[in-house]
Chain A
Amino acid sequence: MSLATLLLLADGRLPSGGHAHSGGLEAQVAAGRVRDLDGLAAFLRGKLATAGLVTATFAAAACHRAHAGASPPNMSEISELDDGLDARTPSAALRKASRAQGRALLRAGRAMWPVPEIGREPHQPVALGVLATAAGLGPLEAAVAAAHGTVTGCASAGVRLLGLDPYAVHGLLARLAPDCDRVAADAAARSGDPVDDLPAAGAPLLDIGAELHATWEVRLFAS
Chain B
Amino acid sequence: MHPETSEPHTHGPDDVPHTHPDPGVDPHAPLPEAPRALRIGIGGPVGSGKTALVAALCRALGDELRLAVVTNDIYTTEDADFLKRNGVLPVERIRAVETGCCPHTAIRDDISANLDAVEDLETELGPLDLVLVESGGDNLTATFSKGLIDQQIFVVDVAGGDKVPRKGGPGVTTADLLVINKTDLAPLVNADLSVMDRDARARRGELPTVFLSLVEDRAATPVADWIRALVATRAPSAGPAPAAAHASTTAHASTTAHASATGRASAAG
| Residues of A in contact with B (beta carbons under 8 Å apart) | 13, 15-22, 72, 100, 103-104, 107-108, 110-111, 114-117, 120, 157, 160-161, 217-222
Who on chain B is nearest to A111 by CB?
Answer: B246
Who on chain A is nearest to B105 by CB?
Answer: A19
Contact of A104 among B99, B101, B116, B248 (CB under 8 A): B116
Nearest Cβ distance between residue A209 and chain B, in whole angstroms? Answer: 16
Q: Does B115 contact A (CB under 8 A)?
A: yes
Q: Do B250 and A117 have beta carbons less than 8 Å apart?
A: yes
The complex places the Cα of A120 from the Cα of B247 at a distance, in Å, of: 11
Closest 10 CB pairs of A and B: A20-B100, A104-B112, A15-B110, A222-B98, A17-B112, A117-B251, A160-B101, A221-B100, A220-B101, A107-B246
Chain A hits for B74, CB < 8 A: 220
Contact of B253 among A18, A20, A114 (CB under 8 A): A114
Q: Does B140 contact A (CB under 8 A)?
A: no
Q: Do B246 and A220 have beta carbons less than 8 Å apart?
A: no
Q: Does B235 contact A (CB under 8 A)?
A: no
Among A72, A157, A219, which residue has the most Cβ atoms of chain B within 10 A? A219
The complex places the Cα of A218 from the Cα of B74 at a distance, in Å, of: 9
Who on chain A is nearest to B256 by CB?
Answer: A110
Who on chain B is nearest to A161 by CB?
Answer: B101
Please list 9 pairs of residues, one from A and one from B, whose beta carbons are closer than 8 Å in the complex, sorted by A's number.
A17-B116, A20-B97, A21-B100, A103-B112, A103-B116, A107-B246, A160-B101, A218-B76, A220-B75
8 more CB-based (< 8 A) A-B contacts, given A20-B106, A114-B253: A17-B112, A19-B102, A19-B110, A72-B251, A103-B112, A107-B247, A117-B251, A157-B100
Q: Does B113 contact A (CB under 8 A)?
A: yes
Q: Do B251 and A20 have beta carbons less than 8 Å apart?
A: no
Who on chain A is nearest to B102 by CB?
Answer: A19
Chain A hits for B251, CB < 8 A: 72, 116-117
Assuming the contacts A21-B100, A22-B100, A104-B113, asked whether A218 and B245 have C-beta atoms less than 8 A apart, the reply is no
The complex places the Cα of A108 from the Cα of B110 at a distance, in Å, of: 9
The complex places the Cα of A69 from the Cα of B76 at a distance, in Å, of: 44
Chain A hits for B102, CB < 8 A: 19, 160
Q: Does B111 contact A (CB under 8 A)?
A: yes
The complex places the Cα of A222 from the Cα of B72 at a distance, in Å, of: 12
Give chain A's interface secondary structure class. loop
Q: Do A100 and B113 have beta carbons less than 8 Å apart?
A: yes
Q: Does B124 contact A (CB under 8 A)?
A: no
Assuming the contacts A19-B110, A100-B113, asked whether A221 and B246 have C-beta atoms less than 8 A apart, the reply is no
Who on chain B is nearest to A159 by CB?
Answer: B101
| Residues of B in contact with A (beta carbons under 8 Å apart) | 74-76, 97-102, 105-106, 109-113, 115-116, 245-251, 253-254
Chain A hits for B116, CB < 8 A: 17, 100, 103-104, 107
The complex places the Cα of A21 from the Cα of B110 at a distance, in Å, of: 12
The complex places the Cα of A37 from the Cα of B247 at a distance, in Å, of: 39
Assuming the contacts A110-B253, A111-B246, A220-B74, asked whether A17 and B110 have C-beta atoms less than 8 A apart, the reply is yes
Nearest Cβ distance between residue B36 and chain A, in whole angstroms? Answer: 16
The complex places the Cα of A18 from the Cα of B110 at a distance, in Å, of: 9
Q: Do B101 and A107 have beta carbons less than 8 Å apart?
A: no
Q: Do A108 and B106 have beta carbons less than 8 Å apart?
A: no
Nearest Cβ distance between residue A217 and chain B, in whole angstroms? Answer: 6
Nearest Cβ distance between residue A157 and chain B, in whole angstroms? Answer: 7
Among A18, A107, A219, which residue has the most Cβ atoms of chain B within 10 A? A107
Chain B hits for A16, CB < 8 A: 110, 112
The complex places the Cα of A100 from the Cα of B119 at a distance, in Å, of: 13
Chain B hits for A218, CB < 8 A: 75-76
Contact of B111 among A15, A21, A161 (CB under 8 A): A15
Q: Do A221 and B98 have beta carbons less than 8 Å apart?
A: yes
Nearest Cβ distance between residue B97 and chain A, in whole angstroms? Answer: 8
Chain B hits for A107, CB < 8 A: 112, 115-116, 246-247
The complex places the Cα of A17 from the Cα of B115 at a distance, in Å, of: 11
Who on chain A is nearest to B112 by CB?
Answer: A104
Nearest Cβ distance between residue B78 and chain A, in whole angstroms? Answer: 9
The complex places the Cα of A103 from the Cα of B75 at a distance, in Å, of: 22
Chain B hits for A19, CB < 8 A: 99-100, 102, 105-106, 109-110
Nearest Cβ distance between residue A198 and chain B, in whole angstroms? Answer: 27
The complex places the Cα of A146 from the Cα of B256 at a distance, in Å, of: 29
Q: Do A111 and B245 have beta carbons less than 8 Å apart?
A: yes
Nearest Cβ distance between residue B64 and chain A, in whole angstroms? Answer: 32
The complex places the Cα of A22 from the Cα of B102 at a distance, in Å, of: 12
